[in-house]
């Protein structure tokens, strides 16, 4: 989350927020437990970040960076923002 420059908001969960000009704020949280993040939970975090798992792995592997993420959000967020704004 630090790689994307997300701001931290501490509540019962730790939330991360990213403001990109002209786009809805992207929000995600980390699970409370300290165990490894399993595939289905990973998919839900990807949903919150609006990226596909392949892109998420790119972020984890340091082959994708903030500039790539911002471009992805502006061109092909998945799921698209319109889902939330019906």
Rounded CA-CA distance 44/17 in Å is: 16
12/62 with CB nearer another protein: 12
Rounded CA-CA distance 61/56 in Å is: 9
Shortest distance (Å) from residue 21 CB to another protein: 11
Shortest distance (Å) from residue 11 CB to another protein: 5
Instruction: Give me the residues that bind another protein (CB under 8 A), please.
Output: 9, 11-13, 15, 17, 19, 23-25, 27, 29, 31-33, 35, 38-41, 44-45, 47-48, 79, 81, 83-86
Q: Which residues contact 46 (CB under 8 A, 6 or more apart)?
A: 52, 53, 55, 56
């Amino acid at each position: 989350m630090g790689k994307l420059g997300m701001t931290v908001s501490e509540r019962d969960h730790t939330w991360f927020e990213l403001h990109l000009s002209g786009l809805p704020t992207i929000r995600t949280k980390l699970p409370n437990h300290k165990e490894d993040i399993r595939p289905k939970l990973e998919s839900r975090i990807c949903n919150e970040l609006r990226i596909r798992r392949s892109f998420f792995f790119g972020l984890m592997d340091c082959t994708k960076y903030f500039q790539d993420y911002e471009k992805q959000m502006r061109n092909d967020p998945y799921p698209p923002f319109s889902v939330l704004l019906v």
